[in-house]
Structure formats: structure tokens, C-alpha cells
Amino acid sequence: MASTKLMHTKDGRPFYKIVVSPERGKQYSTRFYPEPQWSEKTTQRQLAKYAADFENRCKNGEVQTRAERKEKARQEELERAKLKTFRDYALGVYMATKEQTLSENGRSSYQTYLDKHILPILGDYLITEITPAMLNKMLLDFQKKGYKHSSTIKLYNLLNGIFDMAFMDYSIQINPMQRVQRPKQPKDEKQVAESDKALTIEQLRYCLDCVSKESLQWQTYIVLCADTGCRRGELCGLQWQDIDFDKESVTINRTLNYTVDAGVYTGLPKNGEIRSIDIGSDTIALLRRLQRHQSSNSILTQWVFTQDESPEPMHPQSPTGFFKKFGNKYGIENFHPHLLRHTSASIAITNGADVASVSARLGHSDTAITLRMYTHANEESIRKAGDTVRNLLKKES
């Protein structure tokens, strides 16, 4: 039963305080202000009606105590504090976490994708507002701009990582990326990829013949690249102490990298493992000549490959520029450092080398990577597959 009490405000205006206690320990109150022109009878009738309605709302849970209102306001404030824009979460949580494990090169790549492709579109939305449709559209628009499929997949994986982390730490209740399909490679790009095969042994011999007309340093670099299948940055990071002239081997201890933020810096090889690779006597001879050349020109350096007539290491982006000019000069289409790495592995596998050994030589963490990237069928390997079957059949007959 509601109780009422006549009271007055500080300025003398009359009001009735209505108190309801539907449960022990809980008390709800409100005020009823009668109109000045009402008679006492009208006032009491309206007061009774208002009090009965207030009591019913209290019993139905439609009214909160002062303490409950304060707690609700506190919870709403906490929820507002949790709300983050995609930019806040991607930079303040995801990148801050990933930077603990990413290499500088990986961090720079992630940051570039965020700054250039993601934040301009999604940055100002609350992370809870982003829908699968928005993400699908962004990926489709990215593809339409002509980016390679590998770049689209990198964008997809980055988005997937961000939303997966947000889902796992309860920043979002539903992960929209669970309803976003992994982008498929366009048919026209598949045709281009299939035509981008490794060099044949004859084409590789032509490359090596051509490079013999270039400077000693680039002769050595290209021959060593073809011999070992090393990455661009691994060769740029070679020091003379890494070359064992007696055992004819080279140890990959480091890689030389470059990002806009960090500049040129050294790091561990890609999978973090140091590896030793045997090299041919012709490659060793070139390395000896290069070392003598540096000495005779008073270039006192620990680095195998240097900037022109300087003790400083070769910039890790220099090989890309040289390979492009070299390819144009000698009519070698799409010539770049990774093509020689690709070729070295493909020729080895095509001619009987086991995948595990090739994988170790390349510095892959998993043989599946080697198989996926380098065992592309070419005319020679297709012919050899047929010859194997035919020769076995001849033996049986």
C-alpha cells in the first residue's frame, strides 16, 4: 500500500511524497504536485489515482530505486567506455599486441595496410557497428582496383586477425568475419600466375652468361642467388665471416631489411633459424675475387655486398632495381631476385631433389610451403612423369 505525505518545496509549493515498499529492504518514492486551482476533493482523487498507478509500476518492476538508478548510470558509463572505434581497437589493442611478436618488416606491412586501405573506410565506425556486408564490399572494391590476389588475401587475413582478437576479448559479441568468404583468385589472374613459371635450365644458363658482362659484384650476387636460392635480404646481409671458403659453404645468420619508419636494419632470417648452405666452386671463386677486389680498392668492410665503392652494406632494395634493368637489357621477362630463388628450387625438385632438403636449403619452416610455392608443373616435369610410367611398363614387359 502506498503512503502519502504532504510536504512543501523551499519556495513553499505544496507536493505529496508517495512511498511504496513492495519488498523488504526496497523503497520507491516519487512526488505528486497538485494544480493550484484544484479543490481538496479533486486533489485527493488525483493523488489516489497517481499513487495507485505508481504502486502498480513498482510491483511490475518498471520503477527503480535511487540506488538502482545510480548503478544503472554507472553500468552505462562503463559500457560507453568499452565502445571503441575500429581505429581505436586496431591501433590501440591489436597492433599494440602484435608488435610484441612481429618483425619490424611485418609491423610496417600491417601498418601500411591499415593506414592506406582499412582505416580510411572503417576507422571512424564503432567496431560493434561493422557488418559482414561492409567487409565484403571493402574486399571487392580492393580487388576491383587491380591489386594482386596475394594482396587481397593479406588484407583479408589482417581483418580476420583484428576481429578474431576483438571477439576473443569480448569487445564484440559477434565476429562479422565469420560471414565473410575468403576471396577467390580471379580467373584472369590465375592465367597470369600460371604463365609466371620458373626459368628453365637453358634460360638460367642464358642469365648467367649475360651477367658475366656485368660488374664483379653483380656477377657474384646473381650467381650466389641462383646457387643458394637465398632471399634478397639474406644476401644483402651476408658478411665475410659467414663464408667458409674451405668447406665451400655460406651461413645465413641475418637478413638486411628496410622500412620507411626504421630505415635499414638487420634481423634474423625469416623463420628465425640460422642455416648453412653448400655452394659451388665457381661461386667460391667469384667470392674470392670480390674479396680481393674490395681489398685492392681499400674498401675495408665486413659486408660481402656493398654500396658502390663504399664499406656500407648494399641497400636491401638495390637488387630489385638492378634485376629490372638487367632483365630489360637482356630480354629476360619479369626478372627479379625471387625468380632466381623460385628457379633454384624448381630445378632442384624437378630433377629429383627431395622436398625436405630443398625446404631446409631455402629456409622454409614447413615443407608444405615449398611444395605449394615451387613445385609447378612445367613441360619438362610433365614429360618426366610420363617417362617414369612408360619406363616402368617397359621393364614389366
DSSP string covering 172-212, please? -SS-GGGGSPPPPPPHHHHHHHHH-PPPPHHHHHHHHHHHT
Whether residue 263 is predicted with pLDDT greater than 60 in this model: the reply is yes
Share of the chain above pLDDT 90, in %: 54
Instruction: Report the SS3 class of residue 322.
Output: helix
Q: How confident is the model at residue 110 (pLDDT cuts 50, 70, 90)?
A: very high
pLDDT for residue 240: 96
- pLDDT score, position 363: 83
Task: Give the residue, 68 or 159, on which the prediction is more confident.
Answer: 159
Q: What is the mean pLDDT of residues 12-20?
A: 92
Three-state SS sequence of 268-303: CCCCCCCEEEECCHHHHHHHHHHHHHHHHCCCCCCE
pLDDT surpassing 70 at residue 393: no
Average pLDDT over residues 121-143: 94
Q: How far apart are the C-alpha atoms of 221 and 208, rounded to whole Å?
A: 11
Predicted pLDDT of residue 260:
80
Inform me whether the pLDDT recorded for 194 exceeds 60: no
8 A C-beta contact, residue 121 and residue 155: no
Q: Mean pLDDT of all residues in the chain?
A: 86
Report whether pLDDT(225) > 70: yes
For the cut 90, the answer to whether the pLDDT of residue 354 exceeds it is no
Q: What is the pLDDT of residue 200?
A: 85
| Domain boundaries, given as residue ranges, for the chain | 3-79, 86-194, 201-381
User: What integer is the mean pLDDT of 302-311?
Assistant: 91
- Asked whether the whole model's pTM tops 0.75, one would answer no
Of the pLDDT bands very low, low, confident and very high (cuts 50, 70, 90), residue 289 is: very high
Q: In which band, very low, low, confident or very high, does the pLDDT at 373 lie, cut at 50, 70 and 90?
A: low
d(CA 129, CA 42): 52
Give pLDDT tens digits for 37-56.
999 999 999 999 999 999 88
Residue 124 sits at φ, ψ, to 5 deg, of -90, -5
Residue 390 has pLDDT above 60, yes or no: no
Q: Residue 224: its pLDDT value, please?
A: 95
CATH T-level topology, domain 86-194: DNA polymerase; domain 1 (1.10.150)
Model pLDDT, residue 377: 44
For 308-328, how does the pLDDT look when each residue is reduced to its tens digit (9 = 90+)?
888 999 999 999 999 999 999
* pLDDT at residue number 52: 92
Give one DSSP letter per residue of 346-384, joined into a string: HHHHHTT--HHHHHHHHT-S-HHHHHHHH----HHHHHH
Q: Looking up cell 606491412, which residue turns up?
A: 109
- In this prediction, residue 192 carries a pLDDT of 44
- 189-198 mean pLDDT: 54
- Domain 201-381 annotated CATH 3.30.70.100: no
Spatial separation of the C-alpha atoms in residues 124 and 91, rounded to whole Å: 12
Angstrom distance (rounded) from CA 188 to CA 181: 20
